[in-house]
Amino acid sequence: MPTPDPVALAQALIRCPSVTPEEAGALTLMQSVLEAAGFACHRLKFSEAGTPDVENLYARFGSAGPNLCFAGHSDVVPPGDDAAWSHPPFAADIIDGILYGRGAVDMKGAIACFTAAALGYLKEHGGDVSGSISFLITGDEEGPSINGTAKVLKWLAARGERLDAAILGEPTSIERVGDELKIGRRGSLNVDLLVSGKQGHSAYAHLAENPIPKLARIIDRLSTTRLDAGSAHFEPSSIEATVISVPNRASNVIPSEARAKINIRYNDLWTRDRVEARVHEVCAEAAREVGARYALSFESTGDVFLSKGGPLVSTVIDAVAAVTGTAPKLSTGGGTSDARFIHSYCPVVELGLVNKTIHQVDESTPVSDLEHMTEIYAMVLRRYFGAARA
């Protein structure tokens, strides 16, 4: 059974310029590697009006449970100005032991590592797994995240296929590989706030109704509202104004409306419904003070979740400690990831490379980190399926 070199595989993946939503050969490469190792592969293309079509890959070795899934994304963000890079963003050059390229850390490097680890484990055990190893690789994580992981999971459920545990290879490490393990994420809720007024000449303000100061009062009230002080596993919830827009180009015209976008990150002390109710309360109070007419709409980009206890978390902690000598710090910080979809189907943790250069010019990772990350994933496999054999 072939065992790929994680560094060479990471280079090959980086050389596929798979900027969202382009597949650019990355999934084709993964499919060829996995099929050669005996995985049953499914290329899944999903569509939805108003969003780009996206290709995804699901591959599985074995048919029995438990099914341990390695999840990730082959799409990357744009490189920006190519000329600003020390080395071409899709050349995958290695200079002084450092691999440069878009996706080196986020997250083609991790895909290469867990692929090498899985194939190495299968070779080590002659293809005998006490369960199944699977891969869920999307091309839609850096984009709208509509035609990717969420739809693959629904496809799996519809065919009666179960994931028992998942490891997402997002770059979670801070200073060294394996020093931080994400076991959850805060929920994310977007709020659209519209304040209505009456258009008029700014010199005759008494004949108009200016929505801008009223919007400002409501934004200030929301921004200074303290939801909580944090919980045992989560930092405090936050309310942040991110966009203010007024459809007006004339400096002597009072506009008819003003709009703002608010992003709320909430911890496990809250549910989406309770957060929305609190936003309604705060806005209503501020609006009464200034006589504002307003409307609210909400869009969730992920509910709060926490994977605590159970065999997955303890297995990964023990595996990291066995390789690095130190147990990882448990974290729920950062933004959203595809774990927000996976947690509804099985326990999920996030563990990947050092994240200092993600989305930056000269994104890069030491070759030694790729090798150490592969060792950690391999140890996870040994301990996870070792427990299944026991």
The candidate with the shortest Cα–Cα distance to 300, out of 222, 187, 192, is: 187
Burial class (CB in 10 A: 0-12, 13-18, 19+), 231: middle
Based on the residue annotation, tell me whether 75 is a catalytic residue of this protein. Answer: yes
DSSP element (H, E) containing 47: strand 40-48
Based on the residue annotation, tell me whether 362 is a catalytic residue of this protein. Answer: no
What is the rounded CA–CA span in Å between residue 207 and residue 349?
Answer: 58
In the chain, the largest separation of any two C-alpha atoms, in whole Å, equals 84
- Residue 41's identity, in one-letter code, is C
Q: Of the residues 23, 55, 106, 141, which is catalytic?
A: 141
Q: Please answer whether residues 331 and 181 qualify as being in contact, where contact means their C-beta atoms are separated by less than 8 angstroms.
A: yes
What is the rounded CA–CA span in Å between residue 292 and residue 212?
Answer: 10
- Residue 145's identity, in one-letter code, is S
Quickly tell me which residue has 């996976």 as its tokens: 342
The one-character DSSP state at 130 is S
The candidate with the shortest Cα–Cα distance to 350, out of 312, 297, 301, 293, is: 312
Q: Beta strand 98-100 with 238-245: parallel, antiparallel or unpaired?
A: unpaired
The candidate with the shortest Cα–Cα distance to 29, out of 106, 148, 134, 115, is: 115
Q: Please answer whether residues 255 and 246 qualify as being in contact, where contact means their C-beta atoms are separated by less than 8 angstroms.
A: yes
What is the rounded CA–CA span in Å between residue 388 and residue 235?
Answer: 35
Radius of gyration of the chain (CA): 24
Cβ neighbours of residue 126 closer than 8 Å, sequence gap 6 or more: none
The one-character DSSP state at 29 is H
What is the rounded CA–CA span in Å between residue 188 and residue 302?
Answer: 5
Q: Of the residues 23, 55, 75, 164, which is catalytic?
A: 75
**And the tokens for 49?**
């009006």
Catalytic residues: 75, 141
